[in-house]
Amino acid sequence: MRNLINILDLSINELDELISVASDIMDNPQNYADKCKGKIMGALFFEPSTRTRLSFTSAMMSLGGQVLGFDQAGSSSVAKGETVSDTVRMVSAYSDIIVMRHPKEGAPIVASKVASVPVINAGDGGHYHPTQTLTDLLTIHKKKGRFDNLTIGVCGDLKYGRTVHSLISAMSRYNNVKFVLISPSELSIPDYVKEDYLNNSKYVEVTDLEKAIPELDVLYMTRVQAERFDSVETYERLKDSYILNHSKLASAKSDLSIMHPLPRVNEIDVDVDEDSRAHYFDQAMYGRYIRMALILMLLKTHGVDDRRGTGVEIEGKVCKNPHCISNSERGIKKLFNSKSKCIYCDQ
Ligand code: NCD
């Protein structure tokens, strides 16, 4: 079974193929209208979503397929205490591909171990969000025409922002990509992202957005992730750390690409929306087409993909991350890789 849990499950060649198929779909949608006729997508959204859920639904419908599922854990048997494994076992009997969003980090790995159909991670806690990265890559391809030789500013909540973690891991594979990581120190990028993806790439960590702007080719703004904070006071103090507005863009490059996975709260003023460099609404639109390409790819590939999900138990060792699925799901083994990191959440 082929899954998409981490963006690195896709090779660079496969990313190129997805981008090329998505572009062809945009040009010739009629050629794809029946490609998934008779197929069903199970959409399991244990956490709120607008763009990801609706663009996946739109993608499957545009391919002639159908969608079932739920958009609130409260309306499923999870409310009765069902595990992720049991829910996914059932849904894989009712569908041909599963898209899942869950608040616990590593939940899609648990799902992929029991599913009999491909599993797509549509966001797991503050960990990863690989299909947002596909959308981001298509946007960078369309707007910048390249993945090499880019200076990418990533601004806001780099600690809990799962889209950032996946974007960095994807872009760190290209040549001469420099990251400018802009955040308050309390919301800086987690160590596992630095250790696993940033060692070969150049990066700097700064706190001042305006000083960073002039050198950027891409500015990726993010929302401070209210739902991941343990303390309301800390969230309130940090939520408006960065607000991009028209005047702050005065020193920016004329071909800067301003991106945001959305939803935005205050971090991009509406006065930026009219700027020709504001690409976040196009970015959301591209999500439908790249997800169509992804569904087609996963439904036609029958390879074995179990690179993740292997690890060993270490006597007495448990993951210290309170948001990790291994600490809440009943009946799963607590597994660690050769670097002693938890295989579910990487911490
Ligand atoms: C993002 C997410 O869910 O992580 N939204 C999305 O899928 N476009 C970003 C966010 O919620 O801030």
Question: DSSP letters along 28-78, please?
Answer: -GGGGTTTTTT-EEEEEESS--SHHHHHHHHHHHHTT-EEEEES-GGGSGG
Placement of tokens 């009712």 in the chain: 94
Separation of CA 80 and ligand 1 centre (Å): 27
Any catalytic annotation for residue 223?
no
Alpha carbon of 255 to ligand 1 centroid (Å) = 25
Tell me if residue 80 is catalytic: yes
Question: pLDDT tens across 51-88, in order?
Answer: 999 999 999 999 999 999 999 888 777 778 899 999 99
Domains of the chain in start order, with CATH, are 7-128+287-307 (3.40.50.1370), 130-285 (3.40.50.1370)
Which uninterrupted H or E stretch holds 154? strand 150-155
pLDDT over 90 percentage in the chain: 90
Model confidence over 106-161: pLDDT tens digits?
Answer: 999 999 999 999 999 999 999 999 999 999 999 999 999 999 999 999 999 999 99
Whether ligand 1 lies within 6 angstroms of the CB of 163 is answered as yes
Which helix (H) or strand (E) covers residue 182, if one does?
strand 177-182
Q: Are strands 97-102 and 40-45 parallel, antiparallel or unpaired?
A: parallel
Is 51 a catalytic site residue? Answer: yes
Q: How far apart are CA 189 and CA 220, in angstroms?
A: 14
**CA-CA distance, 333 to 311, in Å (whole number)?**
9
What's the pLDDT at 111? 96
Residue 223 near ligand 1, beta carbon < 6 Å: yes
